[in-house]
Amino acid sequence: MKKALNTIDKMDIFGVPIHLLTNEKAYQFQSKVGGIITLIVGSVSFAYFLYVIIQWINNQIPPNISFQQETIGYAQFELQQSMIELILLDFTGDVDPFRKQNNIITPHLYIITNTTIDNEPIPLFSNEDKPFTISIDNLTLVLNHELYPTFDHLEMKQYLLVLEKCSNNTLKDGSYCADQNVINDYLSQYHGFLFLNIKLKQLNRMTRQLEEFNKQYYTVFDINIPTYSQVMLKQQETIIDNGILFNNYQSFQFINNYELINQQVDPYFASKVVSSMSLSPKNFTNLGCYLFRLDNISIKEHVTLPKLGQVLAQVGSIVQLIFILKHIALFYNKKLLENQLLHQIIIMYYPELKNVKLNILNQCEIKKSPDLNIKYSIQDFKLKYQLLLQRAQEKCRLNNILYEISRIQFIIQQQFGDQVLIQSHQLGGKLQNNNLYFENFKESNRLTVKPVNSIDLENEQIIQDPLELLLSNQS
């Protein structure tokens, strides 16, 4: 158990390195150039961090988007107000043929459930607010191509809009046709274009709101050549993951496009189709018809907005690239520290060189002083100084230091014998009255070399704490 407890400290992952203090009592050697580089790198990194965070908050970072086309068997969609409109652009007159009174062309909307028409058509007259306009709204389109129908699914539902020549036999609720001569005169003229205008939607990824836009098809309104147009409304489902840390899904369904297919038919095509699908026969002249249905090809879009981890990873990668500059500062500090230490060693041997300083560019700089007597030119002196730096660097090598210590040991052994070295292990300051104070005696014979037998280890001629004395000597 004790052995297990003693090994717990080896599991510590928060251990700190043991540093030795420099002369300035600092754990690290730092310089002005390193400080300037730190300010630049730190400021640029923090500014980039703020820039990316602001972009992320404002949804300006592009999301990850993927599209998938699907074939669906069942779908339903509710047509909102005035989502589909037919607008007549008449170049020959200002007569609205779709009005309720004095009607010339009657727009009838038939509801096709599967392949049958069970209800009477819905008249879609224009009004004073929107003349020349037929609006289709508040209806539900259903697509059902399932091989095995589900009981809770609605039946297939499509809508057939037929532009019929007005007949009082089909009009109700106070509507009536114009005079027959007026109708014949109107139908004998050319009347321009019919604009098929459908409001589509798209998702704004910045505001995360659906935006509307119009898509128009221009079709020729030629009464003598009626056309059958099939309008295929295409659905899109967009799933947005807007979670900050974890997934948070939102789903949007809307009509994002449509396809128009035209086919020329005879004036009684729609009458025959409606009669075959309904219980009662119909007899009318069609001037054009439009079938609205849902397309079974759907688009599914997955949008994943950037999460906090992705943003921080982006910032971290760029900041790491910016911090390549730190290697310049590390190299500079390393060379500056090395040169300063070597310069101090040179001063130990040549005190006159105290006025030679290292500038911010790590180059020697000579300050004029009466104590400094240089007989060489500045250029020659710098070459001599570089030679001194090389020799000082050799002095700092561990094997050279050990070699010089061993020479001193042999000299002491030769002059005073081995007993002096053995007894030196017992040298040190003495405590007075068990207090942390050292006796203070006058200095005497400090530089006197005594024989071996005269060395008294009990000698209390100590001026100050040996550690303090050591520090003062270093200073």
Lowest mean pLDDT among 27-36, 73-82, 83-92, 277-286: 27-36
Report the run of H or E that residue 204 belongs to, with start and end. Answer: strand 193-204
373 or 293, greater pLDDT = 293
Asked whether residue 237 carries a pLDDT value surpassing 80, the answer given is yes
Q: What is the pLDDT of residue 432?
A: 60
258 or 358, greater pLDDT = 258
Asked whether residue 453 carries a pLDDT value surpassing 70, the answer given is no
- Exposed / middle / buried, residue 108 (Cβ in 10 Å: 0-12, 13-18, 19+): buried
Q: How confident is the model at residue 13 (pLDDT cuts 50, 70, 90)?
A: low
The answer to whether the CB of 283 falls within 8 A of the CB of 245 is: no
Q: What is the mean pLDDT of residues 330-340?
A: 82
pLDDT tens-digit readout, 271-316: 999 999 988 888 888 999 999 999 999 999 999 889 998 899 888 8
385 or 358, greater pLDDT = 385
Kindly state the DSSP code that residue 120 receives in the 8-state scheme: P
Phi-psi region of 268 (alpha: psi -120 to 50; beta: other; left: phi over 0): alpha
Q: What is the pLDDT of residue 26?
A: 62
Q: What is the mean pLDDT of residues 208-230?
A: 88
Size of the chain in residues: 475
81 or 43, greater pLDDT = 43
The answer to whether the CB of 316 falls within 8 A of the CB of 80 is: no
H-type alpha helices, 179-238: 180-187
Q: Coil, strand or helix: which one is 375?
A: coil
Report the run of H or E that residue 65 belongs to, with start and end. Answer: strand 64-71
What is the average pLDDT score of the chain? 81
CB proximity list for 65: less than 8 A, separation 6 or greater: 301, 302, 303, 304
**Greatest alpha-carbon span in the chain:** 152
Asked whether residue 466 carries a pLDDT value surpassing 50, the answer given is no
Taking only Cα atoms into account, the Rg of the chain, rounded to an integer number of angstroms, comes to 49
Query: What's the rounded Cα separation, in Å, for the pair 342 and 82?
Result: 88
400 or 461, greater pLDDT = 400
Q: What is the mean pLDDT of residues 98-105?
A: 92
Which structure tokens are listed for 298?
A: 């759907």
Q: How confident is the model at residue 441 (pLDDT cuts 50, 70, 90)?
A: very low
Q: What is the DSSP string of 239-306?
A: EEE--SSS--EEEEEEEEEEEEEEEE--TTHHHHHHHHHBSS-----EEEEEEEEE-SEEEEEEEEPP
Query: What's the rounded Cα separation, in Å, for the pair 424 and 417?
Result: 12
Asked whether residue 471 carries a pLDDT value surpassing 70, the answer given is no
Q: What is the pLDDT of residue 135?
A: 92
Domain borders along the chain are 67-304, 427-474
Place of tokens 């030196």: 424
pLDDT tens-digit readout, 55-66: 898 888 888 889
Q: What is the pLDDT of residue 389?
A: 85
Q: How confident is the model at residue 369 (pLDDT cuts 50, 70, 90)?
A: low
Nearest to 291 by CA among 117, 171, 146: 117
Angstrom distances, CA of residue 226 to CA of 220, 221, 232, 464: 9, 8, 19, 120
pLDDT tens-digit readout, 66-79: 989 988 889 999 88
Lowest mean pLDDT among 218-222, 325-329, 440-444: 440-444
Q: What is the pLDDT of residue 434?
A: 54
The answer to whether the CB of 86 falls within 8 A of the CB of 290 is: yes
Query: What's the rounded Cα separation, in Å, for the pair 188 and 69?
Result: 47
Query: What's the rounded Cα separation, in Å, for the pair 135 and 84?
Result: 6
Helix axes 32-57, 308-322, angle to 10 degrees: 150
Q: What is the mean pLDDT of residues 180-204?
A: 88
pLDDT above 70: percentage of residues in the chain: 81
Q: How confident is the model at residue 125 (pLDDT cuts 50, 70, 90)?
A: very high
Q: What is the pLDDT of residue 9?
A: 65
Q: How confident is the model at residue 22 (pLDDT cuts 50, 70, 90)?
A: low
Asked whether residue 465 carries a pLDDT value surpassing 70, the answer given is no
Place of tokens 């070459």: 383
Q: How confident is the model at residue 370 (pLDDT cuts 50, 70, 90)?
A: low
Q: What is the mean pLDDT of residues 353-366?
A: 74
pLDDT tens-digit readout, 131-155: 999 999 888 999 998 888 788 889 9
451 or 333, greater pLDDT = 333
